């Protein structure tokens, strides 16, 4: 049988002392790093309840739990070839344009069909389209547009097609290090920092590689 212990009596003097110490610490942090350096739990989560953009599919919006894709975040949409990744991204752009937003489509694969976009109801004249020639240039474009705070949705199609500068001009059978992963890691840190002051939704499309196994 576990013995029962009475709760320790509260010492009002100690509680007041801790409160005063906490206020002094927060005051010092505010002076050193700004008032927003420390937030209460309520304010912390409240400040991050940003707006969302619908995917154009009610079922998907409900499944996501928040009614769409969150602005101020990076979202990866991945799947096999011809699984509807680009179509979904275009629907998100369409929904953003309905709200008066500006969007950018970075077409790495050079596969965007303007007629398809227009058939889906996208305002092609107000859609920024770019085809950067390297992974570094593309990620720099993403960071610049994000920092501007003027773009609501940026779509990168696709991550798998990004080519680092060091690989351009290298023979097909040439040996080179895995530069893409390093560049993505470094760039995403910068982009995440830019997103702290922006409500841009960044969508990276990526393909799932299927390994074909030989049976003997």
**Structural domain harbouring 198:** 50-207
Q: Are 51 and 201 in contact (CB under 8 A)?
A: no
Q: What is the mean pLDDT of the chain?
A: 85
Assigned token pair, 126: 């107000």
Label residue 63 by pLDDT band (50, 70, 90). very high
Task: Report the Cα 33 to chain-centroid distance in Å.
Answer: 26
56 and 159 share a domain?
yes
Residue, of 150 and 216, whose pLDDT is higher: 150
Q: How many CB atoms lie within 10 A of CB 135?
A: 23
The whole-number pLDDT of residue 157 equals: 94
Is there a domain that residue 189 lies in?
Answer: yes
The whole-number pLDDT of residue 192 equals: 92
17 and 68 share a domain?
no
Mean pLDDT, rounded, for 118-143: 93
Q: Give 69-86 pLDDT, tens digit per residue.
A: 999 999 999 999 889 999
The whole-number pLDDT of residue 48 equals: 54
The whole-number pLDDT of residue 29 equals: 77
16 and 109 share a domain?
no
The whole-number pLDDT of residue 21 equals: 87
Q: Give 8-50 pLDDT, tens digit per residue.
A: 556 788 888 888 888 888 788 778 776 655 555 555 555 556 7
Q: Give 140-188 pLDDT, tens digit per residue.
A: 999 999 999 999 999 999 898 888 888 887 777 665 668 888 899 998 9
Q: Are 52 and 70 in contact (CB under 8 A)?
A: yes
Q: Are 72 and 200 in contact (CB under 8 A)?
A: yes
Is there a domain that residue 216 lies in?
Answer: no
Three-state DSSP state, 115 = helix
100 and 120 share a domain?
yes
Contacts of 204 (CB under 8 A, 6+ apart): 74, 75, 76, 77, 156, 158, 159
Q: Give 184-212 pLDDT, tens digit per residue.
A: 999 899 999 999 889 999 999 998 876 66
62 and 161 share a domain?
yes
Structural domains of the chain, count:
2
Is there a domain that residue 151 lies in?
Answer: yes
Read off φ and ψ for residue 143, nearest 5 degrees: -65, -40
Q: Give 96-117 pLDDT, tens digit per residue.
A: 999 999 999 999 988 898 888 9
């Amino acid at each position: 049988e576990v013995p029962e212990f009475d709760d320790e009596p509260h010492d009002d003097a100690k509680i007041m002392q801790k409160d005063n110490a906490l206020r002094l610490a927060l005051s010092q942090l505010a002076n050193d790093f700004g008032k927003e350096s420390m937030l209460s739990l309520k304010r912390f989560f409240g400040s991050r309840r940003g707006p969302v953009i619908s995917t154009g599919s009610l079922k998907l919006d409900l499944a996501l739990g928040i009614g769409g894709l969150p602005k101020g975040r990076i979202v990866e949409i991945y799947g096999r070839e011809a699984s509807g990744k680009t179509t979904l991204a275009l629907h998100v752009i369409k929904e953003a344009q309905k709200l008066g937003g500006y969007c950018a489509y970075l077409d790495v694969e050079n596969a965007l069909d303007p007629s398809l976009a227009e058939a889906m109801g996208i305002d092609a004249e107000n859609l920024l389209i770019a085809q950067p020639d390297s992974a570094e240039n593309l990620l720099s474009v993403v960071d610049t547009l994000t920092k501007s705070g003027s773009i609501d949705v940026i779509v990168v199609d696709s991550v798998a097609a990004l080519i680092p500068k060091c690989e351009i001009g290298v023979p097909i059978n040439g040996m080179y290090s895995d530069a893409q992963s390093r560049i993505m890691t470094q760039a995403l840190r910068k982009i995440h920092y830019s997103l702290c002051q922006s409500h841009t939704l960044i969508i990276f499309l990526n393909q799932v590689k299927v390994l074909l196994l030989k049976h003997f």
